[in-house]
Amino acid sequence: MARSIGSVMPSGGDLRRAAFDWARSDGVTWIYLLKVLLAAFATLWLAMRLELPQPSTAVITVFIVMQPQSGQVFAKSFYRILGSILGLSVMVTLIALFAQERVLFLLSMAIWIGLCTAGAARYRDFRSYACVLSGYTAALIGIPATLHPDAAFMQAVWRLLEVGLGIVVATVVSAAIFPQSAGAAMRNALYLRFGAFAGFVLDHLDGGDSRAFEAANVNFAAQAVGLDTLRSASTFEDPHMRLRNGRLLRLNNEFMVLGTRYHALHQLLERLRGQGAEQVLQAFEPCLDELRGVLEPWRGRAVTDEDARRLAEDLDSHRLRLMRTIRRCRADLVDRQPDEDALLDFNTAAELLYRFADDLYSYAQTHASLADHRHEREQWSGDFAARANALGAAVAGMRTGMMILLFGSFWISTAWPSGSTFALNAVAVSALASAAPNPAKLAMQMAIGTVISALLGFATTFFVFPHIDGFPLLCMVMAPVFAAGAFASTRPQWAGYGLGLLVFFSFGSVPANLTVYDPARMINEYIALVLSMALSAVAAAVILPPTSAWLWRRLERDLRMRVVQAIRDERADQAPAFESATRDLLNQAYGVAAGRPDVQRGLLRWTFVVLEVGHAILELRREQDALPDEPCYAESRPWRQSIRTLGRALIRLFMQPDESNRQRAVAAVEHAIDAIRHTDEQRAPDFESSPLRRLLSYLHFIRTTLLDPQSPLRDAEPSRGNAAHVA
């Protein structure tokens, strides 16, 4: 009997493993909830002891800046202070200029807040948050100040003190109590990423499921954007991460280059399989076996800095073996007397594979260098170029400015006692939702959260608070509401509900230092809050919503213009900006096209074409910049003129994609290929040391991309805006 009970009961080791698993998953959420409650109540107690007029503002600040990782809290706190100071300064200036004239004041405030909202929608990092706060704080001070302009300066000072208190307490609690650092989260993500990528490469070398291939590419693009956000946050909390900032930027870029290179190789192999080019594929198979052999031990494995050093050593020797294998396989293929196109297919695939192996080696070296505080690979000038569509940002700013004018005019004309709350909250919701892929959905979620907070707030204020005494009981009453809102905010699909519940329960129900129990006023305030949110959601859904077709077309055009910029940009090395901006555009496109898989698939196809052609163009430019000073490579040679003609044809194609421009581009690339074929290099070197043969392989890759029957270039029709731009 004892034996059977012992076999059923878990062992001590099983319990410890289960506890560790819980601590790494659900335990993180519960610790975060505990920290949120502790920070909120500590802030509330201090605000009351210091007799700040509105403790609710300090508590709301805690809810807004608190994040699971301490680095994110530091970053948001820094930009919140920066944005608050800027917004307060501007608003005090506007009050001094236009306090006597409400219409001019309202107009100037609408312009400023519209510009701030546009900036929040334009930037996709913590600068967006600073812009949000610059506009929101301006409204927070400016709208009530229209009633009492003489008290505007003191209101600004009190507001800044309340915000500062919330920030200080939130940062201290986040950093001192069970800290979850952004640097640790980033290191963990870096350790896991290469193993996942190795599995992705091995799973799709022979083709694989195209849907899974596309989904993995989207996931890696989102990871690149997320890791850059973590990198920015980690520099606020960890001096060791600041010492490695250049290498982290470089590592993220090198990973994106790996994805682009592998995608190009995968697409070329898929085209060869579709064409039935068995002779080339059979000759190339031993080269792929070399890659499988070096990546298989790392499939799904966490790669630490020390592991990366060993990986770099393996890849260094792998490059030499791969070069010998490519030469042997090319010689075997030549013995079979293939036609010129087959040999060009092999050379192109071999060039892509060897460059992929070289990029793997560079990535492993950079990863291994993170073990050192200082390293020569830190000297890297690239950056993550993440920007939203300029027109989309301008529309968001215009929408918010129009709402300010409309709601402010309604308030002034009706003299509604809660009109200031009505106008102020519309600004806050519009600003907070401006950077979201679907502002209308977020605003509606916040409105529902506010309805719940109104019911709970009214009940607690008038039926619970009169029957309790002391700060501990006050905390016990509010803790369930705060915990529910904080828990909802940790779930992406419920984040709007949680934010609305936390912010507006605090706004209406956290006692002020001069508390006034007025049921009619509270009902009016919550009506104003809910109505402003509902109207904000309607405005976001009606006035050029970002989820409609106009923004999809703009994002598609932005993707195509990445190729145009790769050709026109005078900088010698623009690969970092090209890689990051293209993937960030893909990440944006997937967000705004949520619920429309057909649109997402179309944007993804454009992303693949842009990556393939753009990367080949960058390689062409790099090869030409490194040409030796010999007559056959001179600028006046016909093959160089033909490449410039190809650049103009590609610019026209990607600015105005249609069949006639595609045919012109195909003719231009074939002319460039023929021109290089008829150019004799003086040394007659082998493929590895021949610049012209490498140029030929990239031109051939561009040609196969343009001829791909699945390419969106075959069925694209230009919009009127594109045609007008070309004209």
Note the pLDDT tens digit of each residue in 545-603.
766 677 777 878 888 888 888 888 766 556 667 777 777 777 777 777 766 777 777 77
Are 361 and 319 within 8 A, CB to CB?
yes
Q: What is residue 384's three-state secondary structure?
A: coil
Are 659 and 685 within 8 A, CB to CB?
no
- Number of Cβ within a 10 Å radius of residue 370: 22
Nearest Cα residue to 254 out of 575, 598, 604: 575
Q: Using CA atoms of 47, 48, 51, 53 in order, give the dihedral in degrees to the nearest 10.
A: 70
Note the pLDDT tens digit of each residue in 599-630.
777 778 888 888 888 888 888 888 888 777 77
Q: In angstroms, what is the C-alpha Rg of the chain?
A: 30
Are 66 and 170 within 8 A, CB to CB?
yes
Q: Please, which residues have CB within 8 angstroms of residue 587's CB and are 6 or more apart in sequence? A: 218, 221, 222, 225
| Beta bridge mates, 123 | 387
Cα distance from N-terminal residue to C-terminal residue, the chain: 89
Output the pLDDT for position 664.
92
Buried b (16+ CB within 10 A) or exposed e, 643-654: bebbbebbbbbb
Distance CA(187)–CA(600), nearest Å, equals 31
Output the pLDDT for position 20.
57
- Token duo for residue 81: 């202070």
Distance CA(550)–CA(612), nearest Å, equals 26
DSSP state of 435: T
Are 618 and 562 within 8 A, CB to CB?
no
Distance CA(170)–CA(164), nearest Å, equals 10
| Beta bridge mates, 387 | 123
At residue 461, what is the residue type?
Answer: T
Output the pLDDT for position 694.
80
Distances (CA, A) of 160 to 83, 115, 363, 633: 11, 22, 45, 64
Q: Is the dihedral of CA 589, 591, 596, 598 positive or negative?
A: positive
Q: Please, which residues have CB within 8 angstroms of residue 468's CB and are 6 or more apart in sequence? A: 474, 477
Output the pLDDT for position 1.
43
Output the pLDDT for position 718.
46
Burial of residue 497, with CB atoms counted within 10 A of its CB: 0-12 exposed, 13-18 middle, 19 or more buried:
buried
Distance CA(376)–CA(132), nearest Å, equals 38
Buried b (16+ CB within 10 A) or exposed e, 511-535: beeeeeeeeeebebbbebbbbbbbb
Cα–chain center distance at 675 = 42
Nearest Cα residue to 564 out of 386, 351, 725, 394: 725
Are 137 and 159 within 8 A, CB to CB?
yes
Nearest Cα residue to 275 out of 715, 707, 714, 616: 707
Phi/psi at 244 (nearest 5 deg)?
A: -110, 15
- Token duo for residue 193: 């990423």
Nearest Cα residue to 250 out of 356, 367, 355: 367
Looking at the chain, the number of H-run helices and the number of E-run strands are 28, 0
Distance CA(534)–CA(518), nearest Å, equals 25
> Which residues of the chain, if any, have pLDDT below 50?
1-2, 4-5, 718-727
At residue 676, what is the residue type?
Answer: I
Distance CA(600)–CA(587), nearest Å, equals 10
Q: Is the dihedral of CA 211, 230, 588, 565 positive or negative?
A: negative
Distance CA(256)–CA(252), nearest Å, equals 6
Q: What is residue 256's three-state secondary structure?
A: helix
Cα–chain center distance at 677 = 43
DSSP state of 387: B
Distance CA(615)–CA(573), nearest Å, equals 11
Nearest Cα residue to 31 out of 483, 498, 505: 483
Q: Please, which residues have CB within 8 angstroms of residue 612's CB and are 6 or more apart in sequence? A: 263, 264, 267, 701, 702, 705
- Number of Cβ within a 10 Å radius of residue 664: 17
Q: Is the dihedral of CA 389, 395, 398, 400 positive or negative?
A: negative
DSSP string, 15-26: HHHHHHHHHHTH
Distances (CA, A) of 88 to 91, 109, 152, 161, 419: 5, 12, 10, 12, 21
Output the pLDDT for position 37.
93
Q: What is residue 255's three-state secondary structure?
A: helix
Distance CA(255)–CA(362), nearest Å, equals 10
